[in-house]
Structure formats: C-alpha cells, structure tokens
Structure 1
Amino acid sequence: MIACSSRSLFFGVDCALKYANPYLKSNPLTYFERISGVGKDSARMDRNKKLKSAVGIRQCQWRPVSVSASNTQGSANELDGDKIKVAQVVTDNCDSTISAGVLDDTVKPMLSSEKHSLSLEVGASLFRFIKGKEGSTQKKIEEEMGVKIVFPSSKKEESIVIEGISTDCVTRASEKIQAVMDEAIESSLDYSHFVSLPLAIHPELIDKLVNFQNSILGNNDVSADENLESDSIEDTSDIENKGQELIKGRDVAVELKVEDEKHVKVGLTSIPLVSYPLKPPRLPNASDFGIDKSIFIKPTTFHLTVLMLKLWNKERVNAASGVLKSISSKVIDALDNQPIFIKLKGLDTMRGSLSRARVLYAPVEEIGSEGRLLRACQVIINAFVEAGLVLEKDAKQKLKLHATVMNARHRKGKRRRKNDSFDARGIFKQFGSEDWGEYLICEAHLSQRFVYDENGFYHCCASIPFPGKEERKQTD
C-alpha cells in the first residue's frame, strides 16, 4: 500500500469512517433491546473495541481518492478498472490507519459487521428542539456521540431512529436527546391539550358574547367618560379656546400703498375675513386602548378550564383519554349524581390592573354553594397527576374556575410584547355587573388546542358525561 500524509493528499480528511455509512454490509441488525447477548461473543467485542480505538467518537466521512503506481514500498489494489481504488493512509489525527476509497454502485466494501440502532417515540412537536436552530443541536449530538439521528419523512410518524457503531454510543445519544426534550417540555413547549367544561353548547350564552364583542368594538364612546382618565385621551378644552382666539385675531389685515419708487406707506385696516369652524377632535376607539377582535375569546369555544396539559405524542394523548374515561363514575359520585348548574356574574381581571389588563374573565359561582363542582374537578386533576401526565408546577396550582372573555396573549396582527395588555376600564364600567346567566355543566372534555371540530369547539379527544346531560338532550 502507499503511505502518504492526509494534509497533502486529502486536505484534512477525518480520521474515522462514517458511523452510518450507506455502503455497510452487516450481519442482522443488533437492536438496543438485545445488548445483553453481545457480551457472550468475545470475538465480536474484541473487534468492536479495536474499531472504537481506531475510530474514536469523531464523525468521519468518505472522500474520493485517486492513487497512481509508485516505487514506494506498498501496492495499489484495483478491481475492474477504476471501479475501486484503495490506499493505506496515515493521518495526523489518529495513531491507527484506515482505508479510503472511491466507490460506485456495484462495489460495496465490507467495513463493519454490525450496526446498532434505537427507535425513540418523541412526538412531532419536539422535533424542532432536537434539531435546534439550523440543525445545530442535532449536529452537536451526532459529533459528540458518534451517531446518526434519522427523522421520519412522514408528518404522521413521531419516532426518530438513532444509529451508531456500538450500543454504548447509541445509549448515550438517547440520554442526551431525552435531556433536550425534558428541558424543552419544562420551559419552551406550549400546552397542547386541556380538560374543559364546555359552555358554548348554550346558544343563548353565545349570543350574549357576540353582543358583548360588537358593543365594545363598535362603540366609539366606550372610553369617552371623564372618569376613565385614560392616558390616550387628550383634553380638548384648551384646543377649542385657542381656536377661538385665533379666529378673532384674523379680523386684522395689512394694506400696502406705493407713494413713489422709494417709499411705501403701510396702513392697517379692518377687513372682515371668512372664519372656518375647527375640525372636531377624533373620538377614541377600541384600538386606542389596545383592544382588537383577536383578543376576544371565540364564542363557539367558550368554556371553563380544569387542567392544562402538555401531551407531545400520541402515546400520551391516548393515555390521557384513557384516564378521563376511567374516572367517569368517580366524577359522578363527586357530583352526588345530581345535575350541576353555575352562574356567571360580572367581570374581573387576572394578571394586571384594569388599566393594564391581560386577562378579563367572568367569575363562576356554583348554584347551591355545595362545592360539588370543585370536588369533581379535583377528582379529575388527581387522576391525571397520578398518571404522570401533569407537570410538577401545574400540579401545584390551585384551581380557580373562571370563564375567560378576553386575553391579550391571543393578540394577532402585530408583534406581541411579553407583558401585552389592554385598558379594560371602559369595558368594566359598562359590563362590570353583567349578568351572563345560569347554565348546566353537561360534560368534561379532553380538548386539543388549535384544532376545532365542526361545531367550532376545540377538538374533543375524549369526554365523560355529567348528570343531567341526557335530560337536557330530551328538552332540546
């Protein structure tokens, strides 16, 4: 073989073979689940150790090589003309030697006897975190662990495959990916599902919400009251007084008379001028107070929220659906097997003052004040926590049933600020004591965010009935 320097011949060729080379001829695939049998074959382990010693953990690739005959000690092997040319190369990054070659579609050299792989159920919503910005996270894991991460080509598939030359590197890569997922789930991943008590099934309530929105978005006088003291309202009294003074002053005119070429006589005379009324000041509208249609809750999705969930793959969604269905009888027992009614009365804010409101909601009052609805909701929460489907921080949250009518977080059409808000003082003055009515809670849903059924409500993954639902159907 011909010995040469990698710097002069290969311009920095990496010192190891590609860990998942498509030209590998291998024995039947050795899966992660069968690693316990690897240790029984001492010859195979020795071969893997030697390969790991020569290759290391670095990512390496094939590069084309052209070798000509030489008097130097060694020889070049040629198969069928130029189909494959192999040269022995000594690199400055490795103590061992490796073979580099030019391959075609018909000749595939035997480089390793095994390839190890592991399939992970991840979920499509987490792919972007594993890839990272411009693939940076994926590349880092592949280079450090000596593996290849393969993402599915179909959007319906939710698993990734980790391929490597040993079970050790595949295992360590899977642990690294799990750490990336855990961090994303805790901080960056948005909630995908929630347990809801639908209220949009009541047409009369939807009508009230529509009228509420139209009244605010179409009423220019909503914030014209002097008690609001809004920062965006200007005091127009001074402007009107100044306008009157200017109109009076415009009755004075200048008359010029030329007596000769060097003298001009200037005289003042009173010439009546036409006076135009001032343009009335623009009355404020909803947008002046940070209010637009996008921050209103869609009436067809009106509900009470029991629990927020992050279900990032089909396995967790199916598990959550099963949990909800399994506790149907317990929920009915908590309700004493009696229908439950609520009353929506007034408005209140969450996260902010009236002048800088972020969430505006209608408080919920259980009719009868027996606490049955809260008991039933707690049964649901406990079941999901025990199933490991609730984040720790959400499990510690105290339940506060409320019906959200406006949320600045939903704003569209402009770049939303971190602490986006709106001025709700005019709304509160007009609707602060609004009686929204009394309504029957008919069922609990496992709802999927951002996906809607034909009725306009969130997609229902699973549901359980509450007492009184059948009677209401018969009445309708």
Structure 2
Amino acid sequence: VIEGNSAESVSKASEKIKIIIDKAYNSRELGYSHFVSLPLAIHPGLVDKLVNFQNKILEIAASDKDGNVECDTDEEEEDQKSTKASGVVVELKAEKDDAHVKVNITSGEHSTKAPLVTELKAKDATKTSYKDSGIEKSIFIKPKAFHLTVLVLKLWNKDRVKAAAEVLQSVSSKVMDALENKTVSIRLKGLDIMKGSLAKAQVLYVPVEEIGDEGRLLRACEVIIAAFVEAGLVTENDVQQKLKLHASVMNARHRRRKKRTKKIDLFDARGVFDLYGSEEWGEYPIREAHLSQRFVYDENGYYHCCASIPFPDEMHVD
C-alpha cells in the first residue's frame, strides 16, 4: 500500500517503485524461480540409464582419487525429498563473500557450442581426466528431474505464478496445432558442452534431435515462448536468446561449497566424454509441457508442477 499527501505524490512514488522493480527483474543478480520444461524423467528406462551413468563416473572418479568408491545407490539425495509448494515466497538476501542477490534459485545459462578435443585412448583418458577432475555427486542433474528447458522465468510472487500458469494453459490448442496433432519424439545421443572446453567444462549435456526432423517440436516451443513474451513475463535479455533444446546431465553451478561464492568451479569432462561421448541414450516421446518451480519437488521426484499442458500421445491417423 502506497500512502501520500496527494494523488500526484502517490503516482510518482508508484512510478519510482516500478522502475526499481523493473531494474531488479532484468538484472542477472535476480535468479530464475520457474521454467517451462518438457519432462523426460517420465521414462523409467532413461532414468535408469542416468543413474548408471552417474554411478559409473563417480565410481571411477573416487577410485582414481583415493581408492574409495562412492556410488549413488539411492538415486536421490536426502535433500530431494518431496516438497509440495503451497505458495511462492521470494527472499532477497545478500550473503557474505557473494555479490549476487539470492532468490532461492540459481542463474540459468545459455549455450555456445564448443568443439570436441582430440580422441584419447581409453586408459590414458581415464588416468588424466578423472584425477583432480572436480567431479562430485552434487554437480550431476538428478535423474528423476531430467528434462528439456524451453524457457526460464522470474516469478517472484503468487500473482506472477498464476499469470504464467494461465499463459501456458491458454496456448494448449496452438501447441497441438504446431505439433499437427501427432506424437513428437526425440533422439538423445552423445554428449556436448556449453562454454569453456572439455578440460574446463561448466555444463555437460545430451544433444537433442527431433525424430523425423520436421521441426514440429521447435515450432511448439516457439508458440509457448511467444505467449510468455507477449504477457510480459520474460526478461529483456531472455527475449533475445535463441532456443537450444538440450538435456543437461552435469552442471558446475550445482556444486556444494562450504563457503558461499559467486565463482563457478569448473570440471574436467574429458574422461566422461571418453566413456559416453557417443552414448545412445534412446528415443523418447514428449508427453507434456510443465510450468516447473525450481528446487521444489513433487512426490515423483520431478520439479513441482504449477501448471501443465498435454502433447499428442497417439499417432494421428487421417
């Protein structure tokens, strides 16, 4: 509530507040709270492959480091236990040794494709790439939360979350049209990196290819993005970003540290590439799109779903 001695003073105060909010909203210091996702963790076989991938890499990394094997047999960490969101509370808090303003979330990243390094022999790659590689459990994406990201959002209150949910649901029929009312499936193969190099990687992801190469999935995603942009729910910087569908498997931003710092510790991905650079992860249909809340999980282990729309689940027959 804004109070003042006159309508003019209240109006001026309101404008100043709006400017401050807009500046904070478009600042990189205010992280993303939600995102539009295409869930992949609904496929049990894929989840199993990711668990095996994580366990294998951690086993080798631990063995190279000190001879101790550390495997993830539970698939999920204790802090991933289900949490149902009852509302959205945004807490701005400046923390010591960190210039960033935290909103219980981390900043997103956009990709720049880097070339692969020269192939190494398996034995040599393992010896040189896992020792002091910076690989640990916390930088792996949780298998039960595996997804494709369509769009990242900053929704700091319940009204904006509600507005975003309505936007997603309002484009359901347009998305169906973009998909031509036919099931759309993707192929996941190999690995690639964003930013840096294999020796100093920040994000390791699985490239995505639409089966049939008709561009229907991309068009559907563009319909969703356009609706959120029109609703004013996308930051100025993100409006300019080009969509690159990918499925992250490792992210250095997720690394747990004893002290808070804005510095991102990179990791050496050469050994991982040697083992999984040509991995055939499989082919999977995309069943739905979610408005997902970051760092909050439902009972199935996936990000809390604020809203969703279905994708065609059967082949269209004329």
Which structure has more relative contact order (CA 8 Å, sep 6+)? It is 2
2:124 pairs, out of 214, 226, 246, with 226
2:140–2:250 CA contact under 8 A, matched in 1: yes
Partner in structure 1 of residue 42 of structure 2: 201
Q: Compute the RMSD of aligned alpha carbons.
A: 2.3
Q: Is the 8 A contact 1:443 1:469 kept in 2?
A: no
Q: Does 1:388 align with 2:232?
A: yes
**Secondary structure in structure 1 of the residue aligned to 2:173:** helix
Hey, what does 1:212 align to over in structure 2?
Answer: 53
Maintained 8 Å contact 2:185/2:283: yes
TM-score, scaled relative to structure 1: 0.51
Is 1:339–2:237 an aligned residue pair?
no
Question: Aligned-pair distance for 1:469?
Answer: 6.7
2:226 is paired with a residue whose SS is: helix
Q: Give 3-state SS (helix, strand or coil) of 1:351's partner.
A: strand
Q: 2:296 matched to 1:451?
A: yes
Shift of 1:470: 11
Maintained 8 Å contact 1:194/1:307: yes
CA distance in structure 2 between the aligned counterparts of 1:417 and 1:199, rounded to whole angstroms: 30
Identical aligned residues as a percent: 67
Cα deviation, residue 228, structure 1: 6.9
| Alpha-carbon distance in structure 2 between the residues aligned to 1:318 and 1:299 | 28
Residue in 2 that maps onto 1:464: 309
Q: CA deviation at 1:417?
A: 4.7
* In structure 2, distance between residues paired with 1:197 and 1:331: 13
Task: Output the TM-score relative to the length of structure 2.
Answer: 0.75
Measured in 2, the distance between the counterparts of 1:192 and 1:470 equals: 35
What's the counterpart of residue 436 of structure 1? Answer: 281
Give per-residue Cα distances to partners, 1:153-200, cap 9 Å, x unaligned: xxxxxxxxx334444443333332222212211112111111100000
Code of the aligned partner of 1:163: E
Question: How far apart in 2 are the matches of 1:347 and 1:427?
Answer: 9
Alpha-carbon deviation of 1:393? 1.4
Matching of residues 23-422 of structure 1 within 5 Å:
119=1, 162-187=2-27, 188-219=29-60, 220-221=63-64, 225-227=123-125, 230=128, 285=131, 288-415=132-259, 416-422=261-267
Amino acid at match of 1:413: R
Query: Structure 1: which 4+ aligned runs deviate by more than 6 Å?
Result: none
Is this contact kept in 2: 1:442–1:469, CA < 8 A? no
8 Å contact kept, 2:125–2:271: no
Deviation per CA, 1:205-224: give whole Å up to 9, x if none. 11111111111111125999
The SS at the match of 1:394 is: helix
Contact 1:345 1:364 in 2 (8 A): yes
Say which SS state the counterpart of residue 358 (structure 1) adopts.
strand
Question: Deviation string for 1:205-258 (max 9, x for gaps)?
Answer: 11111111111111125999435784xx8xxxxxxxxxxxxxxxxxxxxxxxxx
Secondary structure, counterpart of 1:191 in structure 2: coil
The residue aligned with 1:425 is 270
Q: SS at the partner of 1:215?
A: helix
Gaps of 5+ in 2: 66-119
| In structure 2, distance between residues paired with 1:289 and 1:469 | 44
Alignment coverage as a number of residue pairs: 257
Secondary structure at 1:184's aligned position in 2?
helix
Contact 1:191 1:309 (C-alpha < 8 Å) held by counterparts = yes
